[in-house]
Amino acid sequence: MLDVLVCGAGPAGATVSALLSNGGMNVAVVDPMVGTTERLELVAPSTTRLFDAVGLGSLLRDPDLVRFCSGIRRDWGAKVSVEEFLSHRGGAGYAIDRRRLDRVLREVSRKAGARFICGRIVAVEREHSMFRARVRRDGLNITVFARTVVDASGRAAALARRLGARRVLHEALLACRKEAVPTDTRGRLLVESHSAGWSYRLEGPEGRCEAWEVGSKADLRGSRGQVVDASSVLCFPSAGPGWAAIGDAAASFDPLCSQGIANALSTALAIAGAVVSNAGLGEPAARAYSEAVRRTFENAEHGRRLTYSTLPDRGHRYSTELTPSAPPS
Ligand SMILES: Cc1cc2nc3c(=O)[nH]c(=O)nc-3n(C[C@H](O)[C@H](O)[C@H](O)COP(=O)(O)OP(=O)(O)OC[C@H]3O[C@@H](n4cnc5c(N)ncnc54)[C@H](O)[C@@H]3O)c2cc1C
C-alpha cells in the first residue's frame, strides 16, 4: 500500500510528490501524460520566494526556462500605468516556459523517489482508514490503495469532486491564444483592456512571444485560436481527513491574478507539511487548510473585482464590496 497517491503531475502534483518523497513517504503519481501546457506564464515577484521555499529557486536562474520580466504595463480603462517589479519585495519577475517547467519538476520528483504511473484516475472511494483508487491505463483498470490521496488534477478536481467537494464557480471565463504582434515590451508584461474583456502579451526565453485574450464565452465568440478554461472557481471543502486538493484543483484563478503557480507551490508545501507531520492530515489540519484556501481565493476575488470594476463598458457588473466571507453551504 502507498503512503500517498497523487492525481496529476502538473506543477502542484510534481512539487507535492517531490516534497513527500523527500520526507520519506512512499509516493506514486498518476497522470495520463498526454498533451502539455504550452504557455508562457508570469512568475510574479512574490512567487519567487515560493520557488526558494520548495528548494527550487535555482530554476529561476536557468535561461532556457525563464526570461527576466521587469514589470507590468497596464493600458486599462482610461489609465495607463507601469508597475516596476524592482520596487516589490522579491524584486524580480520572470516569464516561465510552462512546458519546460513541468518537465523539470517531474524530473525533480522522480529523482526524489516518486513513482510515476501513466494513466488516469477514474474512481476513488474511502475504504475504512485508506482509499481505493481505480487507474485506467492502456484500456486496463488497476486498483491502487493509499493511506492519503492528493488531488492535483487541475481544474478537473477529479478526486475532490468524487470525495464530495463542490466546485463553486465565481465567474466563467475563457482564454484564447492570439497572434503575438512584435512590439517593444521593454521586458514587461503588457496588459490591455478592451470592450470584449482584456488581453496580455508576454516575452519568454529564446525571444518567444505570446498573447492571450480573456473574456466570457460571449466576449470571445468568433475568436480563432486555442481556447482554454480560465474561470475563477473555488473547490469547497478543499480537504478532508486523509485527502486534499492542491493547485488549480483547490482554487483556480483568473489569469489576471497571476496566482496559479504560487497557489500550486504554496498548497503543495502546506499539504506535504501536514501529511508528514506527527498529527498527519486529520480533521483539524484539513479544516484549517480548507479555510486558508477559501480566504486566499476570496482575497484574490476581491482584488480581481476591483480591477474589473474600472473597465469602461462593463465595470458596473462588478461589486467592489468586500463580501463577508462565510463558507459556501
Ligand atoms: C490562459 C492562462 C494563463 C495563465 N497565466 C498564468 C500566469 O501568468 N501566472 C501564473 O502563476 N498562473 C497562470 N495561469 C494558471 C496556471 O496555469 C495554473 O494555475 C497551473 O497550471 C496549475 O497547476 P496544477 O498543477 O494545479 O494543474 P495543471 O497544470 O492543470 O495540471 C493538472 C494535471 O493533472 C492531470 N490530470 C487531470 N485529470 C486527471 C486524472 N483523472 N487522473 C490523473 N491525472 C489527471 C493532467 O493531465 C495535468 O497534467 C494561467 C492559466 C491560464 C488558463
pLDDT in tens, 215-256: 989 888 888 889 999 999 999 999 999 999 999 999 999 999
Residue with the larger pLDDT of the pair 325 and 14: 14
Nearest CA to ligand 1 atom 50: 255
Whole-number Cα distances in Å, 246 to 16, 74, 116, 252, 300: 9, 30, 18, 10, 16
Which are the contacts of 103, defined by CB distance < 8 A and separation ≥ 6?
A: none
Per-residue confidence band for 275, with pLDDT thresholds at 50, 70 and 90: very high
Q: How high is the pLDDT of residue 319?
A: 66
Q: Whose CA is closest to 251, among 243, 239, 269, 242?
A: 239
Mean pLDDT value across residues 183-201 = 86
Q: What fold characterizes domain 2-317? A: FAD/NAD(P)-binding domain (3.50.50)
Residue with the larger pLDDT of the pair 319 and 160: 160
User: Is the CB of 95 inside a 6 Å radius of any atom of ligand 1?
Assistant: no
Classify residue 267 as left (phi > 0), alpha (psi -120 to 50) or beta. Answer: alpha
Q: What are the pLDDT digits (tens) for 116-156?
A: 999 999 999 999 889 999 999 999 999 999 999 999 999 99
User: Is the CB of 102 inside a 6 Å radius of any atom of ligand 1?
Assistant: no
Mean pLDDT value across residues 272-286 = 96
Q: How high is the pLDDT of residue 326?
A: 62
Per-residue confidence band for 322, with pLDDT thresholds at 50, 70 and 90: low
Work out the number of other CB atoms within 10 angstroms of the CB of residue 194: 14
- Determine the distance separating the centroid of ligand 1 and the alpha carbon of 14, expressed in angstroms: 11
Domain ranges of the chain: 2-317
3-state secondary structure 197-246: EEEEEEECHHHCEEEEEEECCCCCCCCCCCEEECCEEEEECCEECCEEEC
C-alpha–C-alpha distance, residues 94 and 215, integer Å: 24
Mean pLDDT value across residues 50-58 = 94
Atom of ligand 1 minimally distant from the CA of 189: 8
Whole-number Cα distances in Å, 202 to 11, 16, 44, 205, 208: 20, 28, 13, 10, 8
All three cell numbers of 56:
527550487
- Determine the distance separating the centroid of ligand 1 and the alpha carbon of 211, expressed in angstroms: 18
Q: How high is the pLDDT of residue 220?
A: 86
C-alpha–C-alpha distance, residues 230 and 252, integer Å: 8
DSSP secondary-structure letter at 143?
Answer: E
Atom of ligand 1 minimally distant from the CA of 202: 8
Strand (E) or helix (H) holding 97: strand 93-97
Whole-number Cα distances in Å, 134 to 152, 211, 325: 16, 39, 36
- Determine the distance separating the centroid of ligand 1 and the alpha carbon of 154, expressed in angstroms: 5
Mean pLDDT value across residues 177-206 = 86
- Taking the CA atoms of 199, 205, 206 and 207 in sequence, report the sign of the dihedral they define: positive
Question: Does the pLDDT at position 197 exceed 80?
Answer: yes
- Determine the distance separating the centroid of ligand 1 and the alpha carbon of 79, expressed in angstroms: 32
Which are the contacts of 190, defined by CB distance < 8 A and separation ≥ 6?
A: 72, 73, 75, 183, 200, 201, 202
User: Is the CB of 133 inside a 6 Å radius of any atom of ligand 1?
Assistant: no
- Determine the distance separating the centroid of ligand 1 and the alpha carbon of 37, expressed in angstroms: 7
Per-residue confidence band for 325, with pLDDT thresholds at 50, 70 and 90: low
Q: What is the residue type of 161?
A: R
Per-residue confidence band for 269, with pLDDT thresholds at 50, 70 and 90: very high
Atom of ligand 1 minimally distant from the CA of 248: 26
Cα–chain center distance at 264: 5
